[in-house]
Amino acid sequence: MKKFLLTASAAALALAASAGYAAARDQIQIVGSSTVFPFTTAVAEKLGQSGKIKTPVVESTGTGGGMKLFCQGVGENTADFTNASRAIKDSELKTCKANGVTPVEIKVGFDGIVLANSKAGTVVDLTKEQVFKALAKNVAVDGKVVPNPYKNWSDVDASLPATKIEVLGPPPTSGTRDAFVELVMDAACQEEVKAANEKGCGEIREDGAFVEAGENDNLIVQKLEANPNAFGVFGFSFLDQNADKLQGHKVDGVEPTFENIASGDYGVSRSLFVYAKKEHVGVIPGMQEFIAEYTSDAAWGPDGYLADKGLIPLPDAERAKSAENAKALKGMGS
């Protein structure tokens, strides 16, 4: 027994020590947004299959968390790429710069945010104003700002069905929520609400009409299936993959389809980005190969495998320009 204990402790020590001598990293590390995660992982896997480099490791940390890890500094212990479901913020760019990191921005495509419900429910044609009225914490009634009084969709607008307002959506930590607030709530904000409280536009009601359903969009899909009267807010790829169960609603008269989002007609869409760390190119093997694979037409083109995964490609000209910038490693702010 004594011997066993001794050997076991020795083994533990040896293990702990060996970690300190980790060899130079030969594998790309990627962090960032959970929205871009399904696309970046697909590219990583394709690249790994080709056998040219080891398959990159992709973590889903959220856009903000990814930026923090990415801008931490230069060196083996920091991430090489970060995914983002919004453009880098000025404050983040400043941190990056201060730590000697030059990000290279690659705009990879669009993502639509859809309002959908079960096929068993009714299809409605919504405007952003109606969505704002249904979901904002405070709304203006007769010129006065009051806590949202609307219970049914028909209270918001007579043309809508007389069903209870019940919307399942992402929690405030999610990038999808940020984009939804920016593209719908802020865009359709009532003057009175804005005047009363600068941040009042982005506040979503907390009286049970809007249910925070967690980061897992599959859960929202399942809950919508079970409750035909409930609406859900999530990324287009989940609507695309669950077209047999769900139907998307028109927003401002435009249906959320692949074509409408790609052409920019559908109003609730955002750009997705990947940021590369310029300093790591040539140090960590495979950086350029990864950028080349991501920006190849076989990946992000209209017929590429990322489109099959639900990424909405950029228009041809913009795609060409983005690819050119990425391959030339045009750093930001330099």
Partner 1 sequence: MTDAISSFGAVGRPASIHTDDAAKARLKGRYRTEKWFKWLGAAAVALAGLFLVLLLSTIVTQAIPALRQNYVTLPIDLSAAKVDPAKLDEVNYDAIAQEALTAKFPDVTSRQDKRLLRGLISTGTGVFLRKDIAADPGMLGGTVDYAVPLDDFADLYLKGLLADVGSDEAISTSVTPSGTSGDIDLTFGDDAMLALARGHGATEGENGMFTLTSGASSLLVAFNGGTVKLTSLSPAANGTVIAKGTVIEALDSTAPAASGQAFLRVIETPEASRKISDKVIVWLDTLKSAGLIESRFNSIFFFTGASREPELAGVWGAVVGSFLTMIVTLAIAFPIGVSAAIYLEEFAPKNRLTTMIEVNINNLAAVPSIVFGLLGLAVFLNFFGMPRSAPVVGGMVLALMTLPIIIIASRASLRAVPPSIREAALGIGASKVQTVFHHVLPLAMPGIMTGTILGMAHALGETAPLLMIGMVAFIVDIPGGFTDPATILPVQIFMWADFPEAGFQQKTSAAILILLVFLVIMNAIAVILRRRFERRW
Residue ranges in contact with partner 1 by CB under 8 A = 1-2, 5, 8-9, 11-12, 15-16, 18-20, 22-23, 25, 27, 29, 34, 37-38, 41-42, 44-45, 48-49, 51, 54-55, 57-60, 77, 119, 215-218, 237-238, 240-245, 303, 305, 309-310
Shortest distance, CB of residue 96 to partner 1, whole angstroms? 18
Q: How far apart are the first and last CA of the chain?
A: 63
CB nearer partner 1, residue 127 or residue 241? 241
CB nearer partner 1, residue 33 or residue 130? 33
Give the Cα separation of 271 and 273 in Å (integer).
7
CA distances from 218 to 148, 163, 228, 305 (A): 29, 24, 16, 21
Shortest distance, CB of residue 24 to partner 1, whole angstroms? 11
Q: How many CB atoms lie within 10 A of CB 62?
A: 22
Shortest distance, CB of residue 185 to partner 1, whole angstroms? 25
CB nearer partner 1, residue 55 or residue 288? 55
Shortest distance, CB of residue 241 to partner 1, whole angstroms? 4
Contact 269, 110 (CB under 8 A): yes
Shortest distance, CB of residue 9 to partner 1, whole angstroms? 4
Give me the torsion for CA of 77, 82, 88, 91, rounded to 10°: -20
Half-sphere exposure of 124 (CA within 13 A, CB side): 26
Shortest distance, CB of residue 30 to partner 1, whole angstroms? 9
Contact 109, 167 (CB under 8 A): no
Tokens 């990415």 found at: 70
Shortest distance, CB of residue 25 to partner 1, whole angstroms? 7
Shortest distance, CB of residue 287 to partner 1, whole angstroms? 17
Contact 260, 110 (CB under 8 A): no
CB nearer partner 1, residue 77 or residue 122? 77
Question: Could you tell me which of 69, 9, 23 has the C-alpha nearest to residue 284?
Answer: 23
Q: What are 235's strand-pairing partners?
A: 113
Residues 6 or more apart from 41 whose CB is under 8 A from it?
Answer: 58
Class of residue 252 by CB neighbours under 10 A (exposed 0-12, middle 13-18, buried 19+) = middle
CA distances from 167 to 66, 72, 83 (A): 29, 38, 28
CB nearer partner 1, residue 16 or residue 226? 16
CB nearer partner 1, residue 4 or residue 198? 4
DSSP 194-247: HHH-TTGGGPBP-SSSEEE--S-HHHHHHHHHH-TT-EEEEEHHHHHHTTTTEE
CB nearer partner 1, residue 130 or residue 237? 237
Shortest distance, CB of residue 167 to partner 1, whole angstroms? 20
Question: Which tokens go with 41?
Answer: 């992982």
CB nearer partner 1, residue 62 or residue 103? 62
CB nearer partner 1, residue 59 or residue 178? 59
Contact 190, 139 (CB under 8 A): yes
